[in-house]
Structure 1
Amino acid sequence: MTDQFDEDTGDYPLVMPGPLWKRFKQTLADFVLLLVNKCKSSYVFDQRLMDGVIQLLTGLADSQVRAFRHTSTFIAMKLSSALVDVAFGVGGSESKEYKT
């Protein structure tokens, strides 16, 4: 797949100018957050799904194509933030139970 992309091209959705592409970046971030929030009770804690996502992002981050590296890093950061929010929510509810 990387043969079809120029390694140093600056034309990919996350860095394109204009309101459409800015909306794409926000929509991608919202998608990752929504995916984690919808799956937090089952699939997020299922190692198979998360292992697959992490392997995909790691493979893309290791690519020679800058667009893949940047996009996978962006998604990985949003995924990490969403998982921290879920962990904080789980930890917060457990600490409330201990206080009562």
Structure 2
Amino acid sequence: MAEPGELQVVVAYATAQHEFVRPLRVTPGTTVGEAIERSGVLASFPDINLVTQPVGIYGKKKALDTVLRERDRIEIYRPLVADPKDSRRKRAAKKQSTQAPAA
């Protein structure tokens, strides 16, 4: 439980092989960027580049200078491996080609 005057937040990052979820207690006025630095995720995953990788709170992109609120979940996003639109088109084409013609 957070001490009076502190906020409880979580910093999360995941790769295909690893998951990083770290609860933190921060003072009011702490920003997303400051919490990420305090969490240790940058030491655990040195390939994270906060200049190019977007971050967010509960799935909504936010700037690094966004001030945190109680129970915020800070997420660091990775680039997509595949374009979701292309993947859907490929699945649809495959499904269409495997369906038997109607008699």
Q: Structure 2-normalised TM-score?
A: 0.29
Determine which structure has the larger helix proportion and give its number.
1
Structure ID, larger Rg: 2
With CA pairs under 8 Å and 6+ residues apart, which has the higher RCO, 1 or 2? 1
Task: Name the TM-score, length of structure 1 as normaliser.
Answer: 0.30
